[in-house]
Amino acid sequence: MTKARPLLPIADRSDLMIQITDDQSRTLMDTSESITFHSASGAASETRHVYLQNSGVLERLSRGLSTSVLEVGLGTGMGLLMTLDAAISSGISIHYHAIDQRLLESEIIGALKIEEQLKNKWLVSAFLAWRNSLGQTVKDGEYLWTVPKEYDSSESPDLHSGNQIPSHRTACGELPNDDDKNESVCHSAGWGEKENAVISTVKVTVRDFRDVVLDTKAGYDAVYYDPFAPAASPELWQAVCLRHVRESMQSDGVLSTYCVSRQVREVFERAGFSVNRVRGPVGGKREVLVARPHIAGRTNPGIEGFEVEER
Ligand SMILES: C[S@@+](CC[C@H](N)C(=O)[O-])C[C@H]1O[C@@H](n2cnc3c(N)ncnc32)[C@H](O)[C@@H]1O
């Protein structure tokens, strides 16, 4: 029998509810399809374990390595914010490219209280201010956020309220791209930012992932592959999508995802990955997946500290 978790309504949104997951962190439930943005057994534990840890990001940061991350499915921003938090705490830069077909409104993200999972709680204020600067409805395009290293939260807007960013703080302009005149680029300076203090950058692409052309020279060190499950988003679990992801990664990059079914593993292999099942988060799925670009003769070494089961 499925365990019932507390659900909280969101004002004016009958299609979404907040779910309190087993580690007390919050996620969203799409009530029309009964799908959640994270595992009900712990949104923050899943994010930390399946993505930050299994992708090797935490290990790279602990070794002082600047890291580039691709996330397919930005959703609530929890993966992004927890990754930036870890990077800032380590004093290492992250270059993060997140893709989603739509951006959630800042009021909804604010209601998830993601700051409770962070050491650098101001990151949520800074992210919400940047999100507000884009306006309520965000057109397909690419949007840049230059993350300040420090942020004076006394000048920041209320975490859980709407459009309070002073307009002079944000510079928005057209992205110089003749191919798509709809694309715009927004850089948020952030309050209290010290000169030369910027260490991390975020690019958010708002578009259906099937229409995104990934840069084969991007060289992502880590990929958080986090669309909805194959039953809800079958289009994103096709070899054609995953092949593009592989071509944008470093040859020693690591992709991590929560979905580990035989069909999904076979699709990853058809897309040119070597796959391993590794232990899932405490209280959550027994196994999750890590995948590396296949190189003949190389065994998938797995992630330090995890029992890796060879297929
Ligand atoms: C499981 S949630 C992502 C959770 C997210 N990583 C987080 O930390 O909150 C899946 C996301 O994939 C996005 N998505 C689903 N289908 C998509 C598509 N075809 N292209 C781009 N994004 C898609 C949804 O909008 C949703 O935000």
Q: How many independent structural domains does the chain possess?
A: 1
Model pLDDT for residues 160-173, shown as the tens digit of each residue: 443 332 322 333 33
Question: Is 310 a domain residue?
Answer: no
Beta-ladder partners of 256: 224, 290
Question: Is 141 a domain residue?
Answer: yes
Q: How far is the CA of 155 from the centre of ligand 1 (A)?
A: 31
Question: Is 308 a domain residue?
Answer: no
Return the exposure string of 74-94: e unless at least 16 CB atoms fall within 10 Å of the residue's CB, then b.
bbbbbbbbbbbbbbbebebbb
Q: 253 lies in which domain range?
A: 7-303
C-alpha–C-alpha distance, residues 243 and 268, integer Å: 8
CATH value at residue 88: 3.40.50.150
Model pLDDT for residues 281-307, shown as the tens digit of each residue: 988 999 999 999 999 888 766 555 454
Model pLDDT for residues 129-155, shown as the tens digit of each residue: 999 999 999 999 999 999 987 776 655
8-state DSSP, 217: T
Kindly provide the residue ranges of all beta strands, DSSP E only, lying in 141-188, ordered along the sequence.
Answer: 141-147, 170-174, 184-188
Q: Output Rg (C-alpha) for the chain, integer angstroms.
A: 19
Question: Is 311 a domain residue?
Answer: no
- The alpha carbon of residue 246 and the mean position of all alpha carbons in its chain are separated, in whole angstroms, by 17
Q: How far is the CA of 204 from the centre of ligand 1 (A)?
A: 12
More confident residue, 248 or 159: 248
Pocket test for ligand 1, best of 226, 240, 255 (most atoms within 8 A of CB): 226
Question: Is 156 a domain residue?
Answer: yes
Pocket of ligand 1 (CB under 6 A): 37, 47, 73, 75-76, 78-79, 99-102, 208-210, 226-228, 233, 235-236
- Tell me the mean pLDDT in the region 190-207: 70
Question: Is 127 a domain residue?
Answer: yes
C-alpha–C-alpha distance, residues 273 and 288, integer Å: 15
Question: Is 309 a domain residue?
Answer: no
Are 96 and 222 a contacting pair, CB within 8 Å?
no
Q: How far is the CA of 99 from the centre of ligand 1 (A)?
A: 8
Question: Is 97 a domain residue?
Answer: yes
pLDDT bracket for residue 198 (50, 70, 90): low
